[in-house]
Amino acid sequence: MLKKIFISAILLLAVTCFILSLLKGNNSSKPVLPTSSYVAVININGTITTGEEDGGLLETSGTGTSSETLMKEIRAAAEDKSVKALLLRINSPGGSVTAAEETGRELARFKESSGKPIVASMGDMGASAAYWLAACQSDKIYADASTLTGSIGVYMPYMNTEELFKKIGVSSGKIKSGVHKDILSPDRQMTPEERVIMQKMVDEMFDQFVTTVATGRKMSPEQVRKLADGRVYTGKQARELGLVDEIGNYYDALAATGKLAGLGDKPLVKSPAVKKRWDFIFNAQLKDLLKQAVTEVLQGQVKQGPATLQVKG
């Protein structure tokens, strides 16, 4: 009896997963828009990282944004003929230079292939790599007066625990193929030559950041460098310095986007479906576990023979 109940429960969960997989991507609380023209809203929240979100069972939404996700959303908008403009809704302290670079390249492709407007709207923060994305291709940048933005710069952190290791009697050694293979190792001091190497890397990425902002904001590199000492600015300060165009909230930015796209100041919007709890509970990993469990139970029943399938009252 217990085996039958267990098998029924497993099969029920498997069927539920299958049904939900068919509905995946259409679980947004927003209704399907009966229009052929709209503004695509792309949300950039939390730390911006390279790669793809793993969608694991214990993953929670809102912890960050991956460049893979952003690139897919931008490409989908570019291929959708009904998209008339992009609105980047940003609430991020920044993140990876590489993530900003590859996402920025997709924004450039969108602009070059379609000529459609891009507007950025900042919430609490739009700093560092997030400002990179706001500045690189946007026709207009909106920020609240209290938004923290700017932070134009690059840094590469490292830690030296050599003295701590000595105090607790821990020593380390390594066999390496080249003198700089363990550069930034925490168990030894960085050499002067290595510092020069790393500084050149940071300077190269910083030059790229400055060029991106200068081109996007139609400023000279010299003007940008004067503002690019790594500090953050309030939205009001950034407006005065030319780093943003207007002070306003999301709806102000949306109205401006609609006007630029010829859709009026109250355009309809469409954004990628927000992941909900079903996506995290009934994901591919759990489906694999259920499939494996069902297979094992059925195989066990076959090995035991038909008699074991009989249920006595």
Q: Does a structural domain hold residue 97?
A: yes
pTM value is 0.75
Calculate mean pLDDT across residues 19-48: 68
pLDDT of residue 276: 47
Q: Does a structural domain hold residue 243?
A: yes
Q: Does a structural domain hold residue 226?
A: no
**pLDDT greater than 80 at residue 293:** no
Do 17 and 161 lie in a common domain?
Answer: no
CATH number of the CATH domain containing 189: 3.40.1750.10
Indicate which residue of 92, 96, 121, 128 is catalytic.
128
Do 288 and 143 lie in a common domain?
Answer: no
CATH number of the CATH domain containing 115: 3.90.226.10
Indicate which residue of 4, 166, 181, 200 is catalytic.
181
Instruction: Grade residue 33 by pLDDT with cuts at 50, 70 and 90.
Output: very low
Do 268 and 235 lie in a common domain?
Answer: yes
Do 257 and 147 lie in a common domain?
Answer: yes
**Helix-then-strand count for the chain, H and E:** 11, 10
Burial of 166 (0-12, 13-18, 19+ CB in 10 A): exposed
Q: Does a structural domain hold residue 295?
A: yes
Q: Which residues pair with 142 in a beta bridge?
A: 121, 246
Interatomic CA distance for residues 66 and 49, integer angstroms: 5
Residues 6+ apart with CB under 8 A from 281: 57
Do 277 and 266 lie in a common domain?
Answer: no
Do 277 and 267 lie in a common domain?
Answer: no
**pLDDT greater than 50 at residue 153:** yes
> Where is 109: in which H helix or E strand?
helix 97-114
Do 114 and 47 lie in a common domain?
Answer: yes
Q: Does a structural domain hold residue 224?
A: no
Burial of 24 (0-12, 13-18, 19+ CB in 10 A): middle
Note if 24 is an active site residue: no
Do 125 and 247 lie in a common domain?
Answer: yes
For the chain, how many structural domains are there in total? 3
CB 218 within 8 A of CB 116: no
Do 178 and 214 lie in a common domain?
Answer: yes
| Per-residue pLDDT reduced to its tens digit, 211-270 | 999 999 999 999 999 999 999 999 999 999 999 999 999 999 999 999 999 999 999 999
Q: Which of 28, 82, 101, 84 is nearest to 275 (CA)?
A: 28
Q: Does a structural domain hold residue 13?
A: yes
Domain that holds residue 236: 37-151+231-272
Instruction: Grade residue 312 by pLDDT with cuts at 50, 70 and 90.
Output: very low
Do 114 and 215 lie in a common domain?
Answer: no
| Per-residue pLDDT reduced to its tens digit, 105-143 | 999 999 999 999 999 999 999 999 999 999 999 999 999
Do 142 and 15 lie in a common domain?
Answer: no
pLDDT of residue 313: 43
Note if 128 is an active site residue: yes
Do 145 and 105 lie in a common domain?
Answer: yes
- In total, the chain counts a number of residues equal to 313
Q: Does a structural domain hold residue 92?
A: yes
